[in-house]
Structure 1
């Protein structure tokens, strides 16, 4: 089937269209969440889809939910997505959707960092710390941190960048009990995933998780986890301290956009097909290295 930029499921009420995912109501307590082939860069949704991207993200997330089972409850219900839509709509959800519990989102991006990269590297160079966490002096770009750290960000409105906050800010917003669970779950998930990925020749430099609260106030892991959209995956055999690392994520498409005369506001430039295909192959290589399996188009 061709790439899916926007789903059109008429048999269920549309709840929300995000940068990548479309969510539909399944009764009062569940959501059908469909991963499209859209991609965003610099907080702009690009007009050209990435082949197989939605299926790759879904396959990786499903894999990680199984691999990390037992650390924290997650939002999966086990319901077959194809069973909740009309027969003629099944092609839109096959291999790219889940039926999830409907939760109250916690408005914090829960970021775990094991290496000094991206915005954290910039903040460290200026302040010597990240999100209020003081780090040793003299660290270099992409260097492994002494211990993984929790560096939360406050979720911004659409079109704005998330802003780094401190653990104390999370405590003020959600209380010590919930804040400590968010931190401890985030670091436990990251450590176990990083250990597994290392056995497959991949460094997970950092990643972000999202959580919600169920009707009982239980913290539940939701959304995608440990994909190239939400993580920095580096090939371990090319890793060197002091450089910007090659990665299995959207950096390739970001680099192409940076070379264009573009003000980083919508609409984005039209992306050449070879750049789209190369981005797709980088995403799929991460999937294959981690799980041993690719996806069909």
Structure 2
């Protein structure tokens, strides 16, 4: 195998003309990799993505060739995939207002150029889900929100509209399934690309604790940050240290690692109905 790319969480190899996508236990916050891994995180993300790919297959094809035809040392955390030419933008859907979207709303009354009603709070449910794309920043740099018109400028009108349709359909399908299991999906990010025949394909990961915000529905209360089943816990810890969000990042204490791992597992078990 040939290593093509090592990202914040995933390592990408080429093997027999295919891609081997390996999810590590690395965790990144504010686009910086923390020095302390979260045990089992890569396996959890991979297995949750595979479950979701099955639920979403009628909306958009995905890049998975096999979850078992991978090197033994990567078993459980790797997927054999089709090669894709990835889009130049991150496709994001938001159904609730929080995080960077909240900050943008507070400054401009809109998110990625989409105007929103006044008076929304941290955690408020939006009137309807919105497409809020962003740039795809190099490792160590921050993604920046962009408007739909900027996506049109990058990829063309037809492609931009397809990005928006697919992203919102995935979010709506995911939200419905998760809601049945007592989980709110506040927002999510997906990756799209084109295969060798020019078909638009869903790649990378989908509706995981790294690419989405998961909240327990019975604890949702707008007006403050929500309890979450994702890496928000470790993100909040990192913020509390006074760290400047630049390299080098601080070591993560064992208790924060343990709680974060438990929340990843709970998200997996709630959503899939399977025991980890």
> TM-score of the superposition, structure 2-length normalised?
0.97
Tell me, in whole angstroms, the C-alpha distance in 1 between the residues paired with 2:194 and 2:11. Answer: 20
Structure 2 match to 1:122: 103
How far did residue 267 of structure 1 move? 2.1
Contact 2:83 2:196 in 1 (8 A): no
Where does structure 1 differ by over 6 angstroms across 4 or more consecutive aligned residues? none
Tell me, in whole angstroms, the C-alpha distance in 2 between the residues paired with 1:213 and 1:256. Answer: 38
How far did residue 79 of structure 1 move? 6.0
Contact 1:81 1:97 in 2 (8 A): no
Name the CA shift for 1:124/1:72 in 2 (closer, same or farther; >3 Å).
same
Structure 1 match to 2:14: 25
Name the CA shift for 1:79/1:130 in 2 (closer, same or farther; >3 Å).
closer
Structure 1 match to 2:246: 265
Structure 1 residues without counterparts, runs of 5 or longer: 1-11
Q: Describe the SS at the equivalent of 2:184.
A: strand
Structure 1 match to 2:207: 226
How far did residue 181 of structure 1 move? 0.7
Name the CA shift for 1:176/1:258 in 2 (closer, same or farther; >3 Å).
same
The answer on 1:199 being equivalent to 2:180 is yes
Deviates more, 1:34-43 or 1:201-210: 34-43
Contact 1:32 1:81 in 2 (8 A): no
Tell me, in whole angstroms, the C-alpha distance in 2 between the residues paired with 1:27 and 1:219. Answer: 22
Tell me, in whole angstroms, the C-alpha distance in 1 between the residues paired with 2:122 and 2:244. Answer: 27
Q: Select the structure of larger CA radius of gyration.
A: 1
Deviates more, 1:152-161 or 1:194-203: 152-161
How far did residue 271 of structure 1 move? 1.4
Structure 2 match to 1:6: none
Q: Describe the SS at the equivalent of 1:224.
A: coil
* RMSD of equivalent CA atoms: 1.2
The answer on 1:49 being equivalent to 2:37 is yes
Q: Of 141, 147, 153, which residue of structure 2 is paired with 1:166?
A: 147
Q: Describe the SS at the equivalent of 2:129.
A: strand
Tell me, in whole angstroms, the C-alpha distance in 1 between the residues paired with 2:23 and 2:189. Answer: 17
How many residue pairs are counted as aligned between the two chains? Answer: 276
How far did residue 261 of structure 1 move? 4.4
Structure 2 match to 1:277: 258
Tell me, in whole angstroms, the C-alpha distance in 1 between the residues paired with 2:131 and 2:29. Answer: 24
Tell me, in whole angstroms, the C-alpha distance in 2 between the residues paired with 1:22 and 1:283. Answer: 20
Tell me, in whole angstroms, the C-alpha distance in 2 between the residues paired with 1:35 and 1:78. Answer: 15
How far did residue 257 of structure 1 move? 1.6
Tell me, in whole angstroms, the C-alpha distance in 1 between the residues paired with 2:249 and 2:234. Answer: 12
Q: Of 140, 143, 146, which residue of structure 1 is paired with 2:121?
A: 140
